[in-house]
């Protein structure tokens, strides 16, 4: 088991500050393990809402929870959405002695109910799979291939990792999606998910994908929103800048876990990955997620204009703008597109992330950065 001190610190701060904290993330990403680590350090009561005995304990939730003090953890709370109203009543009581930590794997259910019922009482923390700051920089090839889900990354060998991911995909399609009340055949959703793997890193085109599947634009859009809301896919939105040029306005689509991407593309090992035609796009998505997980900007976008110039990632931070261009190349070069992006967007710094080991400046405010040195950027921005 790998310790996750940064998330644990964030969780401690949030639970001390807010009456209710929501820890969200995909299934099997480590939410329960992290919550139990927090619980082991203080007085805490744990409920697994998927457990039949705990469901019985919560048949009268106001009575069961109202007498508790300390930290109260409710795991997979989306299984009992009625608990949100109960939590609102309890935390508003003057004599309340409890702080609540709710865990959920389905952000549409959690956010909809929580935002409507617990407004002003709730703080969100999103948990991801492992990143390079947790696994160590020398593990990047394994993390890229296997993805960040703990059981996939920590598997004894590639076959075990691949088997776990295939089981995860099947369970997600056959159990998790129906539990959200979404009645889509598992075969149809897998077909869409597999097709989406070939569009990883590309601008979303509902009409093209819809034609390929024989479905309407609205239907494939709903499929995409399901995968986005369950933390499987990231829709990176475009940045708009008044530069007098036609800009790309559709989002870019990325798998949030490259291990699942490689399973759906039938890539079993590093040799197959490096020879695959989608290896560059896979690396781009992997690097993008590492930047977002380690630096944790509040907002993130990509930028592109129809004449060709583009930037993989732009984010504002403390009144400044920073950008990343991601290259799967041993010796990336500065291009006209990068210069255009740095100038048009008035970037304070542009980093060119690549899978090498040496960082070096290219021009003023533009430098090449090995992905394994991302934490040095985190210190500069702190």
Residue pLDDT, tens place only, 69-80 = 999 999 988 788
Measured CA to CA, the distance from residue 122 to residue 68 in angstroms comes to: 19
Q: In whole numbers, what is the pLDDT of the chain averaged over residues? A: 91
3 state SS of 70: strand
Token pair of 345 as six digits:
């967007």
pLDDT in tens, 159-169: 999 999 999 99
Cα–Cα nearest to 292, from 327, 260, 257: 257
CATH class of 132-381: mainly alpha
pTM assigned to the model: 0.92
Measured CA to CA, the distance from residue 270 to residue 255 in angstroms comes to: 18
- Report domain extents, the chain: 5-126, 132-381
Mean pLDDT by 10 residues, the chain (382 residues): 87 95 92 94 93 92 93 89 90 93 75 73 92 94 97 96 97 85 86 95 94 91 91 94 75 97 96 95 98 94 86 94 95 91 93 95 94 89 74
CATH number of 5-126: 3.40.50.300
Measured CA to CA, the distance from residue 361 to residue 368 in angstroms comes to: 6
Secondary structure percentages of the chain, helix, strand, coil, to 5 = 45, 20, 35
């Amino acid at each position: 088991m790998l310790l996750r001190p940064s998330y644990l610190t964030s969780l401690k701060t949030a639970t001390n500050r807010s009456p209710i904290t929501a820890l969200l993330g995909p299934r099997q990403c480590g939410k329960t393990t992290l919550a139990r680590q927090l619980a082991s350090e203080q007085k805490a009561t744990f409920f697994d809402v998927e457990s039949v005995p705990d469901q019985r304990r919560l048949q009268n939730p106001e009575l069961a929870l109202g007498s508790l003090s300390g930290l109260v953890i409710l795991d997979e709370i989306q299984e009992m959405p009625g608990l949100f109203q109960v939590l609102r009543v309890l935390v508003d009581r003057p004599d309340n002695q409890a702080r609540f930590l709710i865990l959920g794997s389905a952000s549409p259910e959690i956010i909809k109910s929580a935002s409507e019922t617990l407004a002003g009482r709730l703080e969100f923390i999103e948990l991801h799979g492992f990143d390079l700051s947790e696994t160590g920089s020398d593990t990047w090839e394994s993390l890229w291939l296997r993805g960040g889900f703990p059981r996939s990354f920590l598997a004894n060998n590639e076959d075990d990792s691949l088997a776990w991911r295939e089981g995860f995909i099947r369970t997600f399609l056959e159990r998790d999606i129906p539990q959200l009340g979404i009645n889509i055949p598992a075969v149809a959703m897998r077909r869409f998910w597999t097709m989406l793997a070939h569009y990883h890193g590309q601008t979303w085109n509902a009409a093209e994908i819809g034609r390929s599947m024989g479905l309407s634009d609205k239907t494939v859009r709903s499929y995409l929103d399901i995968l986005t809301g369950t933390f499987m896919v990231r829709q990176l939105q475009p940045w708009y800048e008044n530069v007098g040029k036609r800009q790309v306005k559709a989002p870019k689509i990325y798998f949030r876990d490259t291990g699942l991407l490689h399973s759906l593309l039938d890539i079993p090992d590093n040799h197959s990955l490096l020879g695959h035609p989608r290896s560059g796009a896979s690396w781009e998505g992997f690097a993008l997620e590492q930047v977002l997980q380690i630096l944790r900007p509040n907002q993130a976008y990509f930028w592109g204009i129809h004449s060709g110039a583009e930037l993989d990632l732009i984010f504002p931070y403390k009144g400044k703008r920073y950008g990343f261009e991601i290259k799967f190349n041993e010796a990336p070069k500065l291009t006209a597109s990068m210069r255009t992006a740095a100038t048009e967007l008035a970037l304070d710094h542009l980093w060119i992330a690549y899978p090498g080991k040496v960082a070096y400046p290219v021009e003023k405010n533009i430098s090449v950065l090995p992905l394994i040195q991302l934490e040095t950027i985190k210190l500069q921005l702190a």
